[in-house]
């Protein structure tokens, strides 16, 4: 009460945001497999996804053709979104991320539905995850892979042959 208040004059002075600020949702399109989990789990039903199936030729001769989903439309209606983050949490392929962007206001509420090109632009503003704690224990998957590689190297040493090219020693 004894100090004078300080007012930041936004938009001339940009606010200093915390590093992992939740602004809007960014889409990393390459990771999206069109599984529709995000759209199904969204409590507001504000995610719109359209796709089609494509057949992919066999990778090896004599193989069979595969079909895969191709993303046609991915849009989020931010007029409906309540920014709960459920879509980001349920995405099994890490295609959705929180971006710190917060300046996406529109004059018309109908323009708050942002398509995948805009969501992709916001993806590049997502900060890198914090560095791992060097004192933390090694993840189980990494430990299992390291033990398997050490076991293979020991077996090859006992057999008296050097490891093949591309194998870890």
Element (H, E) at 14: none
Q: What are phi and psi of 35, to 5 degrees?
A: -80, -15
Please check whether residue 71 is in contact with residue 116, taking contact to mean a CB–CB distance below 8 angstroms: yes
Residues of the chain with pLDDT under 50: none
**Which of 110, 120, 112, 105 is closest to 73 using CA atoms?**
120
Q: What pLDDT is attached to residue 132?
A: 80
The tokens of 159 are what?
A: 């057999």
Q: What pLDDT is attached to residue 162?
A: 61
């Amino acid at each position: 009460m004894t100090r004078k208040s300080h007012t930041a004059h936004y938009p001339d002075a940009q606010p200093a945001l915390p590093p992992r600020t939740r602004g809007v949702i960014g889409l990393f399109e390459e990771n999206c497999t069109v599984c529709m989990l995000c759209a199904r789990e969204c409590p507001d039903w504000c995610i719109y996804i359209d796709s089609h199936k494509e057949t992919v030729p066999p990778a090896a001769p004599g193989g069979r053709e595969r079909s895969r989903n191709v993303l046609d439309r991915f849009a989020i209606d931010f007029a409906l979104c309540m920014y709960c983050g459920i879509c980001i949490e349920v995405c099994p392929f890490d295609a959705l991320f929180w971006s710190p962007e917060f300046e996406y206001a529109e004059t018309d509420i109908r323009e708050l539905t942002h398509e995948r090109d805009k969501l992709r632009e916001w993806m590049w503003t997502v900060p890198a995850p914090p560095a791992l704690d060097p004192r933390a224990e090694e993840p189980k998957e990494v430990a299992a892979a390291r033990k398997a590689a050490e076991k293979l190297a020991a077996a090859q040493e006992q057999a008296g042959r050097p490891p093949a090219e591309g194998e870890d020693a």
